[in-house]
Chain A
Amino acid sequence: MAHIPDGVLSWPVLAAGGVVAAAAVAIGVRALDEQRIPRVAIVAAAFFALSLFSIPLGPSSVHLLLSGLMGLILGVAIFPAVLAALLLQAVMFGFGGLTSIGVNTINIALPGAIAGMIFAPLVAQADVSRAAFYGGVCAACAVLGTGLLVSLSLYASSPDFAVSSRIVIFSYAPLLVVEALVTGFCVSFVKRVKPELLARTRSA
């Protein structure tokens, strides 16, 4: 449900999302120095591949967003990374809106970027188990933020969505729990195997 299709949101919401996303992606792209583009892009490709992997959960399954982890590792480069992933999804699988691509980019990337900004210094300095905890909280915050933004996009689009928009948030609960756990364990792994990936140096 993080990808809102075409035909649901109103024009003012779509336009606002488009403008904010364009600005955020521009900032993300500018922040990359020329030398780092291949590295960031290849890590972004790994994140995209991971988000396609579906995790069985009871009778259903979830796809991870990994936006909290992307915020930790990629920083503001999360904006172009998410936009590239959404575009690729549109051409590979034919879904994901065209008019809503700006809104979707912001809904996914903005909470990840903010959570990453807050938690990256904590994760970098903490020991393994505490870093794992911060990583999990970071992922949970990012998913919650995405749920709130999706809900807000619906709410602002039409009074008809007023009730639905509140219920949408609850549909994020399973994803929130799974993301927090997987991200926590993932941070714990990376912290032991290759801590410099989370060290907020310019390595990634």
Chain B
Amino acid sequence: MSLSSSLHVERETGLIEALDPRSRLIGAAVLVAAIVSLHTFTARFAALGLAIALVVAARIEPRLIVRRLAHLEGFMILLLIMLPLTVPGQPLASFGPLTITDRGVERAFGVVLTVNAAALCVFALIGTLEPIRLGRAMAALGVSERFVRLFMFVVRYHGIFGVEIRRQFESMRARGFRAGVRRHAFRSYGNLAGMILVRSIERAERVDEAMRCRGFSGRFPMRRIRSMTFADALFAAFAALMVITLVGLDRFA
């Protein structure tokens, strides 16, 4: 994760890059909505296949994908351990008081497939989108202008505070700060957070004044979003076909 360049993510070069951010956003939403509605394993495997194909098309480094999925599994691990043990069904194996059931394992496996397929889809389609372009796409899709403005500020300034946090943490360490479960460590983190917030409001006042001096009208000029191209039409057709295929497989296979 790079905190210093919040405005740019690694520029992608794959097929996905040719698409308009709006079609990527809508495409991701529609595909993920279809994926989370699947119930059969055939359809879920097909969804995972589709998601992998999208990631390949987006030319994302495998290393990044692995790191991101590992992060996801960290979230899921509790559910994955609990489901086989707690869902009622035919017992498969037991360890002392704990029994693994067939329905539980099936449920856990199903969740893993769906979650990973959906996550890869999101990753391929919008995980490589520059935040500013997401903001523009939201504005073009009719999302509240005030919300988009707030989003743009968060995009613009969080990296600056990230750098400030890192700098301050480094100076803490230079003064002999050691992390640990100690009162002093938590007090230091509290002071760090407090200092960042105090600086943020001071910065906010300066920015606000500077904007008013320059006659900020309450609205950012947004670069005109280019119109949809043939690639977007193709992608829309592809996404529709995939949704029909997945749902069809789920119902009739």
Contacts and interface: CB of A to CB of B under 8 A. Distances in A.
A41 B191 contact: no
Interface in A26-46: 26, 29, 32, 34-35, 37-46
A93 B82 contact: no
Nearest to B133: A91
B111 A88 contact: no
A7 B78 contact: no
Contacts of A164: 78-79, 82-83, 86
Contact of B158 (A40, A64, A88, A98): A88
Interface string B118-135: 110011001111110010
A181 interface: yes
Interface in B2-31: 3, 6, 9, 28-29
A189 B195 contact: yes
Given A93-B68, A189-B190, A49 B161 contact: yes
B115 A182 contact: no
B153 A41 contact: yes
Contacts of A38: 153, 204, 207-208, 211
Contacts of A162: 86
Interface residues of A, number: 80
B162 A95 contact: no
Contact of A7 (B36, B149, B164): B36
Contact of B79 (A8, A56, A92, A186): A8
Contacts of A58: 181
A122 interface: no
B76 interface: yes
Interface residues of B, number: 86
A42 B75 contact: no
Given A3-B75, A5-B118, A193-B194, A52 B162 contact: yes
B189 A182 contact: yes
B29 A98 contact: yes
Contact of A44 (B28, B144, B154): B154
B196 interface: yes
Interface in B183-214: 183, 186-187, 189-191, 193-201, 203-205, 207-208, 211
**Minimum-distance CB pairs A-B, first 9:** A185-B190, A94-B127, A41-B153, A189-B194, A7-B114, A46-B200, A49-B161, A6-B118, A94-B123
6 contacts: A47-B197, A53-B169, A84-B154, A99-B29, A183-B190, A193-B198
Given A46-B199, A91-B127, 8 more contacts: A4-B75, A5-B118, A6-B122, A46-B196, A52-B1, A84-B154, A94-B127, A164-B83
